Structure 1
Amino acid sequence: MAAEPRQRLASSPEQPQPLRVVVNLTKEYLDRLNAVWVEGQLIEIKRRSGTVMQFLTLRDTLAEVSVSISTTQAVLDAAGPITEGTVVAAWVKPTLWLKSGSLVFECRELRPSGEGRLLAMVEQRKRMLQAEGLFDAARKRRLPFLPRRVGLVTGAQSAAERDVVENIARRWPAALVEVRHSLVQGPAAVEQLIGAIRSLDAHPEVDVIIVARGGGSLEDLLPFSDEALARAVFACRTPVVSAIGHETDTPILDLVADLRASTPTDAAKRVVPDATVEAQLVGRAIGQARRAILARVDAESRRLAELRSRPVLRDPAAVLDGHTERLQHARERLGRAVDARLREEQLGLTHAIERVRSLSPRATLQRGYVILTDADGRTVDRVAATSRGAAVRARLADGHLDLTVTAAAPEASTAASHAPQAPVPPPLSPGSAKALPATTTEEQ
């Protein structure tokens, strides 16, 4: 809506208008303008932490025209992930700051425009799927080393199909390619891509699936960032390789697939090995194994020769000679020790026997002593233990004598307190035939 015309201010060098009047009138005029949607490219984003107001610089997409835009943090957050260089549509209203006289456009709403809008949409979808775990590296499966059959989803008669098939045939001729044609751009592409992937995933001989396209614009590649396609690939039991061939942006399929290849040709190289290279590797491995075996055999041969050259193996019995000699010496020492011990024990036994014999009654009898016993067999060791006329037995070393006591004469030292002392006879000498003086002995 156009502003109403106002009367021109009169001014001259002699009567100038105050600055505040001109600024206020300008502000009043700008305040009457409506907010308008404008398109431009963000060339600068000045984010200030801790403040509500943020400042942007917006430039026309064709002309060298740029303006300063003020907005709030809430408006920036609502616009989604935008960066410098993004083309946006901004709902702005011009205003004038009185203190500085700066013309600023207040942005009340901000939306990505064109490719920026598409990128923001794709980025938002990426964040959602990432939060659900569809991009986790832990769930990605390893590709088989030698796939029997390779599934290929691509456009009919496309360069991507030709590159994949030719490279697989050249690198590993034994691998078979199971092709499913599908649209790779446009509204119907997502449904056909999902059907082709599910068909190959259900094939019992397909070991890996390649989804290939030879690049394209952002709009052409939108089917490969579709949420339904991403979930279909995530649900596959067969490993999936994404070969979109677009390096500028990353479609969601690249993130959810088990492996991302930069081009269809790169996908073929990653899926099957090169037969020539593998043959060379096998040849080198065989050569290394042969050299290792020969080296091991040589080493063991030298070790065996060293063992055989040792004296113990040249003459195994030689090692026993020293042991035999030591055993003989040990036996001799043992014999001498046994003999010495036997002599020592025999001598000790002889001494013990002699001591026992010297202490035995028989030895005493052999020295000329006798042992008297009464008729009851009790030992007569005192004169008072018998009486005149009693029968006693005298035991000698070689036998015994039966005697009759004709007289008893105790010694004065023992009989002094009991009876008158008799004359003390001279003591008997050992071996005397007469045991008692003034008596007669009778043999019975």
Structure 2
Amino acid sequence: MYNKIPLNIKSINAILTLRYNPFQTPIIPKLKHDDFLGTNYEPSIDYIENHIISTIRKTISEKNKKITVALSGGVDSTLLAAILKKNFPEADIEALSIKFAESVDETPVASEIAEHLNIKHRIVDLENYLIELPKAISIIKAPHWDLHWYHVVKNMSKNSKYLLSGDGGDELFGGYVFRYKKYCSLVNSKSSPAKKIKAYLSCHERDWVPDQEALFSKKSRFSWDVIYDKLMPYFDNSLDLLNQVFLADFNGKLLFNWLPIYSKLYEHFNVKPVTPLLSEDLIRYCTHAPIETKYDQSTNIGKLLLRKLLSKYKVDKFVTKEKLGFNVSTTNLWKFFGKKLCQNYLKDARITAAGYTNQSWLDKWFRKNGDMDVRYVNKFMGLLAFEIWYRLFVTKDMNANTKLNL
């Protein structure tokens, strides 16, 4: 049984709208617009490479060279695996990949990379992504459902103390190209901060739904203005369009979702993270780099600096333009597990009885025939996580070891 956690309704509203809680204290400092003021220098890939190597060397104990690489087959994880193999030949390296059922299978590419680098590769098959959601939520103590990292850390901790990952690669080096193009098509340099915020949110449309206000009851006191106010400093400044997006992205899910969640998982499983892309020096260096050295707007290709390093290490042939990173097909997850689980837990939800969510909204979408829009799938998953969190920490009538089976 767990200690009761106070329910901060502003935090809950934010998680159900942004998928992160900007009202918490971050574990690394927030960045300000000054940190993204561009310079005229040409970033050095040698400088970036040396800092990655230095951070890894400082983090790994001399007595324990066994280390796991979270390998998705994307730019960040492929590069870090290659750097680790070449510069730490004495290390006992294992690459770990997760194969999610009914989702894009990234493991064949990861296997090719591991074979090319001559490192061990372990693939974990996961049929029901949600099966241990109560356990994961009991560890992170927050109502999140997108917890693929729980499965990564849990499985790697059985064989290794150190986990090497590319956290921060997308935010610092320009990995969210699917959003950059859309954002620039919606606004220009003369657009008001308010319009930019709404355009930015429209590029994160999977985090909220068109009738977002309707899913809350009056007790939740949901207001879009509260959300807009938290984002305003990132868009009411002198930065150019894309650097404003970089600033908002760094101070978004990275700072207020993934890093706090990951830190709790590392602590629980006694794992030491190795995150060289988030070293203080590299953050400072990369945020000031000219935007065109990180993202090519004409080709819509990002992470240009890291791709140059991929070429240097002769592993660029394995990495495509598509973004990879332990992706789960939420629509298939809904079809095979999610819908029935949500019906089981949300038909008579504690969060609805307590006055936080609107039963008529739930009933309306439960009655929908045919395929569910992915935005609503994500929303139902978020509400399922809220309900489980509420049962664990508020009503305390759920066991963390409960398995979400059908």
- TM-score bracket, shorter-length normalisation: under 0.3
Instruction: Choose between structure 1 and 2: higher strand proportion.
Output: 1
- TM normalised by structure 2 equals 0.23
- TM normalised by structure 1 equals 0.21
Question: Quick check: which has more Rg, 1 or 2?
Answer: 1
Instruction: Choose between structure 1 and 2: higher helix proportion.
Output: 2
| Larger RCO of the pair (alpha carbons < 8 Å, separation 6+) | 2
